[in-house]
Chain A
Amino acid sequence: MSDDLYQRLGVSRTASQDEIKKAYRKLAKELHPDLNPGKPDIEERFKGITAAYDILSDPERRGRYDRGEIDASGQERPEQRFYREYAEDPSAGRFYTQEGFADEESLHAFFSDLFGARAGREGRGGREGMRMRMRGADVSYTLPITFLEAAKGAKKRVMVGGEQSIDLTIPAGVRDRQTLRLKGQGMPGFEGGPPGDAYVEVHIQPHAFFERKDNDIHLELPVSLAEAVLGSRIQVPTIDGPVSMTVPKGSNTGATLRLRGKGIVDPGSGRRGDQYVHLKVVLPKKPDAELEKLVEQWAKTHAYDPRADMERR
């Protein structure tokens, strides 16, 4: 290190205070020990330029140095431990940390991942000391279920991966594409670690005549001409089995009747939706001469135009 303070900062003896400041700033950015923790010998150089700057930045002391009243060596700052000495000592216990691994525990976790995962899956690196307790992997499946299983809930045993079977409870009211999490039903853990979880996405198959809208069930119900015209008491399928329902006299196609509380349980509130029955009047499958004669007779005096609404528009 040069004994000449001006040389240390790389400025001339006639440099202005501003030039000295700029020169120091530039060198300090390069040489500050805390910005260069990997370079142990940089500290001496930094102290050298700092000592030079301490004197030259003060016009009064700079004058005394120029006149030879003080020398370059005796005026360094008191012995100081730099930040880097504290900050990189793993035993210090308390740190300033914003990012990265928070402490040594998670460093352990990081390497467990690296070594443990491989040790378990490929059977390599399984030497003493390399064994890591590891949670088993999660697995995911899709599971087709029937409309009624989804509506009413069900217990199922499902074979996975050819040999393993898992038991699962399908909650009543589960929705299509909903994912169920089965804790501990995934892959087994390594070295005593806990097993992973299984994630099952349910796919609800459509039903022949029930249709779900939110928690209500809609059903199109065929009724005969007599049942519609004269009214009747008939059996209607629901997800709980058939129930009786009264069709009022003169019910038309499209008339909708509601069976309260015969829909699907809402998993959140526990309340059940309703079943809506949409009537559809159906004529006999084969033409019937008697019916024809009857209607012909009737129509002579009871003409009506069911398309009147269409023409008006």
Chain B
Amino acid sequence: MKTLSEVVVLIGRIDRVELHRWIELGWVAPARPAGRAEAEPAFSDFDIARVRLICDLRHDLAVEEETMPLVLSLLDQLYALRRQMKTLIGALRQQPDEVRRAIMDVLEASRRQGGALD
């Protein structure tokens, strides 16, 4: 866990004011100690990676502030789907060979028909 000041130093291309604003806008949500809303937020590696991504989007890719919620929302949906896909694949992997083969057959048939499951 890192403090806001540590994150500013670590990333090097963002200042405190801007990072505060991103928290206010809900773009990044570092944990705060329970029951203490005024407490210094604590950034996990996950949060820091997200701050980096927002830096890239905002500064390098020049995404406007008002467009950011749209971009982040789409990304969050994309990653939610990918997580679920992974969970689903994990569940399928535990099935007997026969079941997995049957699923692969359906996917293969769908691919040959140019179907959406490709």
Contact = CB atoms under 8 A, between A and B. Distances in A.
Interface stretch (A21-29, A174-182, A198-206, A242-250): A21-29
Interface string A85-107: 11111101011111111001001
Contact of B61 (A32, A92, A97): A32
Q: Which secondary structure dominates where chain B touches chain A?
A: helix
Counting contact residues on chain A (CB < 8 A from B), the size range is 20 to 34
A20 to B, nearest CB: 12
Given A81-B45, A83-B49, A101 B76 contact: no
B57 to A, nearest CB: 8
Contact of B87 (A38, A81, A104): A104
A95 B61 contact: no
Interface in A247-294: none
Contacts of A3: none
Interface string A10-49: 0000000000000011001100101101100000000000
Interface stretch (B14-22, B78-86, B103-111): B78-86
A99 B82 contact: no
B47 to A, nearest CB: 9
Contacts of A98: 72-73, 76-77
Contact of A100 (B52, B53, B72, B80): B80
B60 interface: yes
A86 B46 contact: yes
Given A34-B53, A99-B77, A25 B61 contact: yes
Interface string B19-40: 0000000000100000000000
Interface residues of B, number: 29
B116 interface: no
Contacts of A53: 60
B76 A80 contact: no
Interface string B43-84: 011100110110011001110000000001101111111111
Contacts of B73: 98-99
B62 A25 contact: yes
B29 A29 contact: no
A89 B59 CA distance: 26
Given A95-B80, A95-B83, A107-B87, A86 B60 contact: no
Interface of B: 29, 44-46, 49-50, 52-53, 56-57, 60-62, 72-73, 75-84, 86-88, 90
Interface of A: 24-25, 28-29, 32, 34-35, 37-38, 53, 80-90, 92, 94-101, 104, 107
